[in-house]
Structure 1
Amino acid sequence: MSLKVTVVSDAPEAPYEQVRAQIAEQARAGVLPVGYRLPTVRGLAERLGLAPNTVAKAYRALESDGVIETRGRNGTFIAAAGEAAMRESAAAAAEYAQRALRLGLDHAAARAAVEDALRAAYGGSA
């Protein structure tokens, strides 16, 4: 198993987003198992022909999403992404529920807003 990332220069997504999405998907699919050590920012940047800041931005987003964890000088590793995603999703749902309540939405209206947002996010397939 090894990290496979390609960046398409004329893609609509920014290079950092391409890197972020590919690493996240490989972690989610188990291609990159929990504990897998990622290349350094500089190493991956050189390999992909990107600026180190571009890879650093992708790594920061992945860390914020709980997909990877940085252990200082020991490196950057794939975290338990599924668990982190579920925790973050639950926190976002709780925050939304509190806001919907403050706005005076009833249960049906709050649920409908979520369903509409999911349909939009998933291109109408939710």
Structure 2
Amino acid sequence: MSEAAVRVDTTSQVPPYEQIRAQLAALIVTGRLAEGDRLPTVRQLATDLGLAPGTVARAYRELEAGGLIRTRRGAGTRVAAPPAPARPHAPQLATLARDFTAAARAMGVDTESILTAVRDALGPDRPS
């Protein structure tokens, strides 16, 4: 990452750590920084920007909390893998599965019969 990628406006009302966080997040989300790209150390970026290391450390902590970067001892700070795509129907599907299995259990059906019924309901075109 080049030093020119992040700039801090010390006259802005936006705190410097937030400016750093927002700019790095934008670079990551837009793909200008890709998974595995190494970020400068906290000390190096602080020196480059003329800021206290704690300011850069806070920005990095917030990016890490947001899942955008990962810091590993000895490996440095790198852009994290993008999050897995959301499964919007997962909660509803889990509820349907619980309801179905509870009803089947109330009928005295065993686990293997429940699984067979689900497989049969999926039909022959189901993905393996």
What SS is found at the alignment partner of 1:24? Answer: helix
**Greater gyration radius:** 2
Partner of 1:6: 7
Count of matched residue pairs: 87
Cα RMSD (Å): 1.9
Following superposition, which runs of at least 4 residues in structure 1 exceed 2 angstroms of deviation?
none
3-state SS of 1:17 partner: helix
Give the structure 1 partner of residue 47 of structure 2: 46
Amino acid at match of 2:47: E
- Listed as ranges, the gaps of 5+ residues in structure 1 are 95-126
C-alpha displacement at 1:65, in angstroms? Answer: 0.2
Q: Secondary structure at the match of 2:12?
A: coil
* Code of the aligned partner of 2:28: A
- Report deviation, 1:71: 1.3
- Which residue is equivalent to 1:25? 26
Structure in which a larger fraction of residues adopt helix: 1
Report the TM-score when normalising by structure 1. Answer: 0.63
Percent identity, aligned pairs only?
Answer: 52
1:55-101 CA-to-partner distances (Å, cap 9, x unmatched) read 000000000000000111210000124x16x66xx8xxx8xxxxxxx
Whole-angstrom distance in 2 between the partners of 1:51 and 1:60: 15
SS of the residue 1:73 aligns to: coil
Please say which of residues 41-50 and 65-74 is displaced more in the overlay.
65-74
1: distance between equivalents of 2:26 and 2:53? 21
Residue matched to 2:72: 71
Distance 1:35 1:17 in 2: 23
Shift of 1:2: 3.8
Q: What is the TM-score with the length of structure 2 in the denominator?
A: 0.62
Query: Does the residue aligned with 1:38 lie in a helix, a strand or coil?
Result: coil
